[in-house]
Structure 1
Amino acid sequence: MSGSQLLFQAVFALLLFALLVRSERLGHLLIGLAGAVGLAYGAREHGPLVLLAPFLVVLVAATQAASRYLAERKARFTADEERMLAGPLNGIPRAHARLFLDQGDWIDGDAGDTLIEEGKPERRLFYLASGRAEVSVEGQQVGSCLPGQLVGEGAILADDVPTATVRLACRSRLWSAPGEALGSYLEAHDDVRHALEHCLTLSLREKLKASNREEVDG
């Protein structure tokens, strides 16, 4: 196989991988590499006059990567939000995470405040930064939520009414967002939806495991 054929196949492979990867940053990098290899292929086969198209590919990829980098650098987060990014939102790009967090608000709650009520159609997602919440089904306590955990992700994922009641057990600091706002945001940002759904699923799975351990220990 000639060198030109190898370069052509490399361009095709890089572009294919750029379409398949979920990471936007890695996709831009692969497109840029494909453009650079395309420059080498064009120069080898046809001389400098055909380098315009590959050069434009490299330029577009570089512009997108620079815009993404600047957006990441500009994103600012509080200490509570940084812990949220390192925990349940781990893996979501910082610029997208900033937009996601802007769909909700930070609030303070007191002991006895109801976050989620069993059977009620209103869906909200919470993040417990400090404090504690108790989970009950038909009046019986079945678990608890601790700092660093999401609350209400089951109803958000299933687009269904809550199957449990969650009340604060003490004064707490929370982030809260309505399910409708989150749904609209995710519809407009499909690249974030997959990552967020993965985060919510992991959070729900970990709480179910913790609940099962509590039942066994009990």
Structure 2
Amino acid sequence: MHLDLDSAFSTGAMVGHAGYVLLILSMLMTRMLWLRVIAIGAGVLQALYYGVWLSDPVGTFWESMFVLTNVGQIAYIAYRNRMANFTPDERAFYEIAIPTLEPADAHRLIREGRWMTVNPGTVLTREGELPDDLAFIVSGDIEISVGGRKVGACSAGSFIGEISVSTGSPASATATAVTPVRYLAFARPFVAATLDRRGEIGQALEAAFRHGLRDKLLRTNAAMLTTPPAAAPITP
């Protein structure tokens, strides 16, 4: 193909441009499955560009190999996801906390945790102390207190201790079970190491922490708006 300004915007060149655009787009995907799917589209367009417009068998061959490799990876991802079976509690954690992960990766993360059921009065985090675990509440209610005064509450779908576990700072509040509570616990060193690796699981946990903190702030603000102000003391 003769290269000039006109050829840069010809039909063949636009096919080549589209292939590179899809390749860049694939790098923005947070789920590996979608990355592979879009990469296949990019490879197909590039193979057409090399084969039809450039008549380049070498480029066509390697783009075809790129496509076949990604097809094989998708088949492997599908197989792993098919083998990932969840209990009801595990599925609740997956769908609420880490829905962006592939099921196989979510199952791998869950295997690193341990399921706990505790009675009312059990303290999950204590103000001023570094918690041992990150907890995800599946059922039950938690009271949040600071200086012995209740300041909030958490229930199913909430993380407990995410700030302390991810930053290494002591807990800013005490979290106490007020009903029987079932939760999934992850050891603090495991969570810290997972976040440091910045892999797919670590990024999914960070996103879950952000969403959880946002929801807690919204609940706190709503509670403050519905709580009547304390009466001013009467002085003689």
Backbone CA RMSD of aligned residues: 1.8
User: Alignment partner of 2:97: what SS?
Assistant: coil
Displacement of 1:50 after TM fit?
4.6
Say whether residues 1:213 and 2:222 are aligned partners.
yes
Equivalent residue number for residue 79 of structure 1: 88
Displacement of 1:123 after TM fit?
4.3
Q: 1:9 aligns with which of 13, 17, 20?
A: 17
Instruction: Name the CA shift for 1:72/1:187 in 2 (closer, same or farther; >3 Å).
Output: farther
Equivalent residue number for residue 230 of structure 2: none
Q: 2:157 aligns with which of 143, 148, 152?
A: 148
Q: Runs of 5+ in structure 2 lacking a partner?
A: 1-8, 228-236
Bigger RCO of structures 1 and 2 (CA < 8 A, at least 6 apart): 1
Would the aligned equivalents of 1:123 and 1:155 in 2 still touch at CA under 8 Å? no
User: Alignment partner of 2:137: what SS?
Assistant: strand
In 1, Cα distance between the equivalents of 2:198 and 2:74? 18
Would the aligned equivalents of 1:132 and 1:144 in 2 still touch at CA under 8 Å? yes
Equivalent residue number for residue 25 of structure 1: 33
Say whether residues 1:125 and 2:134 are aligned partners.
yes
Equivalent residue number for residue 174 of structure 1: 183
Residue 215 of structure 1 aligns with an amino acid whose one-letter code is M
What pairs with 1:168-207 in structure 2 (closer than 5 Å)?
168-188=177-197, 190-207=199-216
User: Alignment partner of 1:167: what SS?
Assistant: strand
Residue 41 of structure 1 aligns with an amino acid whose one-letter code is Y
What pairs with 1:36-51 in structure 2 (closer than 5 Å)?
36-44=44-52, 45-46=54-55, 48=57, 50-51=59-60
Would the aligned equivalents of 2:131 and 2:164 in 1 still touch at CA under 8 Å? no
Would the aligned equivalents of 1:100 and 1:182 in 2 still touch at CA under 8 Å? no
In 2, Cα distance between the equivalents of 1:165 and 1:208? 17
In 2, Cα distance between the equivalents of 1:152 and 1:132? 15
**Cα offsets for 1:129-152 (capped at 9, x unmatched):** 122111111111111111222211
Equivalent residue number for residue 62 of structure 2: 53
Displacement of 1:189 after TM fit?
5.3
In 1, Cα distance between the equivalents of 2:11 and 2:130? 63
Say whether residues 1:35 and 2:26 are aligned partners.
no
Alignment length (residue pairs):
218
Q: Give the fraction of aligned pairs with identical amino acids, expressed as a percent.
A: 24
Would the aligned equivalents of 2:194 and 2:201 in 1 still touch at CA under 8 Å? no
Residue 27 of structure 1 aligns with an amino acid whose one-letter code is L
In 1, Cα distance between the equivalents of 2:19 and 2:167? 41
What pairs with 1:87-126 in structure 2 (closer than 5 Å)?
87-126=96-135
Q: Runs of 5+ in structure 1 lacking a partner?
A: none
Instruction: Name the CA shift for 1:184/1:157 in 2 (closer, same or farther; >3 Å).
Output: closer
In 1, Cα distance between the equivalents of 2:118 and 2:195? 27
Would the aligned equivalents of 1:134 and 1:141 in 2 still touch at CA under 8 Å? yes
TM-score using structure 1 length: 0.91
**Cα offsets for 1:22-75 (capped at 9, x unmatched):** 232221112111111122112212165652111110011111111111111111
In 1, Cα distance between the equivalents of 2:200 and 2:145? 35
In 1, Cα distance between the equivalents of 2:20 and 2:132? 45
